[in-house]
Structure 1
Amino acid sequence: MSEKEEKRSSKKAESNFVANSKELDGVPDLSMLVYLEMPHVTQRTKKVLLLFHYYYVQKVININYHIFFVLFIYFQKKQVAVNPYERLPIYGQDVIDEFHEASKQGKLPQGRPHPYGVSARSYMRLVQRRCNQSIIVCGESGAGKVCFVYLFFF
């Protein structure tokens, strides 16, 4: 099968999937989708990426330090991260304080997928259940796993 034929058959297969309703467009957790096939995941990821890009580009005027912006989406207790190679300040002290205060109260900010949320949840479980916690970070070479892990140390 030629490359063009593969692309056509791939697009044809994607068009056979049933779309999720418009109400589910803004969900931060992929497990909330009714239909969860790869085209749904990629479509949802693209939508969130565009929303984040629009929001932060509108709000950020001057960036004195650079941090790689990473898009986060939850899938139940797992976090999916996509690096769109943009430098945006979403790891400031105010965000750290928000997650730290919430974890001390035994809750997390709702609808805010973020590495600080992963580490805050782990800390909460450590305190509540009094048992060791593990965080597994996996991905392809050069995907930003090490940078992602550095974010856990807040």
Structure 2
Amino acid sequence: MAGIKSKERAIGKRAAQMAENYVHSILKRKLNIHNKGDENNIPILEATRVKAKMGTHRLLGLNFTSSKVGFMLHYGAAGVREGGNIYLRATRYHKGIALRKPHQVKLPQFQLFDDIYKKSGALDYLLDSLGETRTDAVMAKISSLVLQLNTEDK
């Protein structure tokens, strides 16, 4: 069983990496991130992760996490942005504080995270690979049961 668990862990890591690479490529394309030097968008890339979730004996699934900003970009947002003071630090401004009035905000949906497992190829990979390892696990249990029955007959 230990060999099968380690195989499933490796399968989960690879599938998670496939999905994460796909999501990062989508984010980079939609947000026009061309290199790692774009400091404004690095936090969303660091927060968006896919990890394999392991149980005691097998792979349970893949966990997708992202930041609040990532999910706001995916689902969109609508509401009222609160007013308040804006502090102006540049010397070209004649005063240091400006008052922003409350106003409506509507962020459109980008649907960045739709079908990430299917489109990244991770779903097909999981189906094929887990099919093999779970078949091996069943075969190992059956052969263990047959061996146990054979020793009881003697």
TM-score (norm 1): 0.23
Higher alpha-carbon Rg: 2
